[in-house]
Amino acid sequence: MTSHDPAEPALAPRQTVLVERILARLKIRQLRLLVAVGSHRSVLHAALSLNMSQPAATKLLKDLEEDLGVTLFERTNRGVVPTIFGAALMRNARMILSQIGQAVLEIDDLARGREGRVVVGTLIAASAEVLPRAIADVLENRPGLAVKIVEGTNEALIPGLRTGDLDLVVGRLPVFRHRDEVAQERLYEAESLALVRPGHPLAARRGLGLEELRGWGFVLPPPETTLRRQLDQMFQHAGGPPPVPLESVAWLANRRLLAETDLVGILPAQVAADELSVGRLVALDLSFALPRGAVGVCYSTRRGLSPAADFFLQALRRAGADVGRAQISPSVSTGA
């Protein structure tokens, strides 16, 4: 009797036979070709990108279709388009190829005397405070650990988490939870501030209402971010449409714009801490509360964490606890 991992669902006899056949016959070249065809929408262009002939590529795909008993691609006037079977296999193929690549890099790191590798995606809410604290912790306690940081929004980073290109994503947690294979862990609650340059017409006023801000230009994060969704809802609930902002998560550009124009920026408090402390920016005194949100870390429950990623997660937890205890209060950083 064949045993199986109790955490995995038992396979039906037909599925067991299919899995065994595919494991015995599947080639890495087939997975690479599958992903390339999906990207190029052309067998010829996919074959050229992998330095193989079109007949060889066609045979590899045909062999894979015969082994699986399904059609993976259909020819249309838009090129070669994946079927539902092809799309499902491509999604998993990307994950497999990414995991192989990560395994090779980890082995190479270990062979060079390093202590593993971790790739961390970050959003603006985490990049200024909690992430640097965690990295400093890691460098002190495991200096041989290779760390790579990738910046973006949740919509750009979470797919990389699923495919295995990223080990962790740290930043403001999505309001709408992703699928079950992505775990979300809260680190601390983040405040937001409305920021302007010293001398801005609004800087010396007290108890500003939302309507008093509407007429000013805004620098806001893009619509796919959690903070932006919260801000849009706030304006809509107040009885008017949200402003048409300059959309940016490029902090260096945003900082310069806010310091040299009359734009109003709404940002996580930790992001602007240094600018507030030296008086380059000031926080407006508001009569209403700006959205707060949980800053946390996301990781794949489907793949699990490598020892390196788990070590980094522990550092993030410690850093998050420190940041949570040292929350910036808007009252000490206004234009008063």
Contact, 190 vs 293, CB < 8 A? Answer: yes
According to DSSP, the β-strands at 218-220 and 73-76 are: unpaired
Q: Could you say which of 32, 66, 95 is where a domain stops?
A: 95
Q: Could you say which of 69, 95, 121 is where a domain stops?
A: 95
Q: Position of tokens 């007290």?
A: 206
Higher per-residue pLDDT: 32 or 324: 32
- Name the 3-class secondary structure at 67: helix
Distance of CA 11 to the CA centre of its chain: 33
Residue 8 located in a structural domain: no
- The reported pLDDT for the residue numbered 129 is 86
Same domain, 175 and 299: yes
Residue 331 located in a structural domain: no
Secondary element (H or E) of residue 107: helix 84-111
User: What's the rounded Cα separation, in Å, for the pair 63 and 57?
Assistant: 10
As for how many domains the chain has, the answer is: 3
- The reported pLDDT for the residue numbered 178 is 52
User: What's the rounded Cα separation, in Å, for the pair 234 and 239?
Assistant: 9
Residue 336 scores a pLDDT above 80: no
Q: Could you say which of 95, 116, 142 is where a domain stops?
A: 95
- Kindly state the tokens that stand for 210: 């939302």
Residue-wise pLDDT for 112-132, tens only, equals 656 688 999 998 878 888 999
Same domain, 117 and 249: no
Where is average pLDDT lowest: 7-11, 270-274, 316-320? 7-11
Count CB-CB contacts under 10 A for residue 143. 9
Residue 319 binned pLDDT confidence (cut-offs 50, 70, 90): very high
Average pLDDT over residues 226-255: 86
DSSP string, 113-174: T---EEEEEE-HHHHTTHHHHHHHHHHHH-TT-EEEEEE--HHHHHHHHHHTS-SEEEEEPP
Q: For residue 116, which of 138, 93, 96 has the smallest C-alpha distance?
A: 138
Residues 6+ apart with CB under 8 A from 12: none
- The reported pLDDT for the residue numbered 85 is 92
Same domain, 200 and 169: no
Name the residue type at position 299: Y
Same domain, 214 and 263: yes
Residue-wise pLDDT for 284-309, tens only, equals 999 999 988 889 999 988 877 888 89
Residue 110 located in a structural domain: yes
Half-sphere exposure of 91 (CA within 13 A, CB side): 10
Backbone angles phi, psi at 80, to 5 degrees: -85, 120
Residue 334 scores a pLDDT above 60: no
Same domain, 198 and 244: yes
Same domain, 115 and 241: no
Contact, 233 vs 189, CB < 8 A? Answer: no
Residue 304 located in a structural domain: yes
Residue 331 binned pLDDT confidence (cut-offs 50, 70, 90): very low
Q: Specify the CATH number for the domain of residue 223.
A: 3.40.190.290
Contact, 43 vs 80, CB < 8 A? Answer: yes
Name the residue type at position 111: A
- The reported pLDDT for the residue numbered 122 is 92
- The reported pLDDT for the residue numbered 113 is 54
Residue-wise pLDDT for 178-195, tens only, equals 556 889 999 998 889 999
Residue 97 binned pLDDT confidence (cut-offs 50, 70, 90): confident
Residue 204 binned pLDDT confidence (cut-offs 50, 70, 90): very high
Residue-wise pLDDT for 267-284, tens only, equals 888 888 889 999 999 999
Cβ-based burial of 192 (10 A; exposed 0-12, middle 13-18, buried ≥19):
buried
Q: Specify the CATH number for the domain of residue 112.
A: 3.40.190.10
Cα diameter, the chain: 78
Residue 2 located in a structural domain: no
- Kindly state the tokens that stand for 9: 């669902």
**What secondary structure letter does DSSP report for 303?**
T
Same domain, 257 and 230: yes
- The reported pLDDT for the residue numbered 176 is 59
Same domain, 301 and 152: yes
Residue-wise pLDDT for 33-56, tens only, equals 999 998 899 999 999 999 999 999
Contact, 305 vs 167, CB < 8 A? Answer: yes
Same domain, 251 and 266: yes
Same domain, 40 and 71: yes
Same domain, 229 and 148: no
Same domain, 149 and 227: no
DSSP string, 171-190: EEPPSS---TTEEEEEEEEE
User: What's the rounded Cα separation, in Å, for the pair 104 and 196?
Assistant: 48
- The reported pLDDT for the residue numbered 7 is 47
List 147's β-bridge partners, or say none: 118
Residue 6 located in a structural domain: no
Contact, 211 vs 239, CB < 8 A? Answer: no
Q: Specify the CATH number for the domain of residue 17.
A: 1.10.10.10
Residue 7 located in a structural domain: no
Average pLDDT over residues 81-94: 90
Residue 128 located in a structural domain: yes
- Kindly state the tokens that stand for 235: 């304006």
Domain assignment of residue 214, given as a range: 190-293
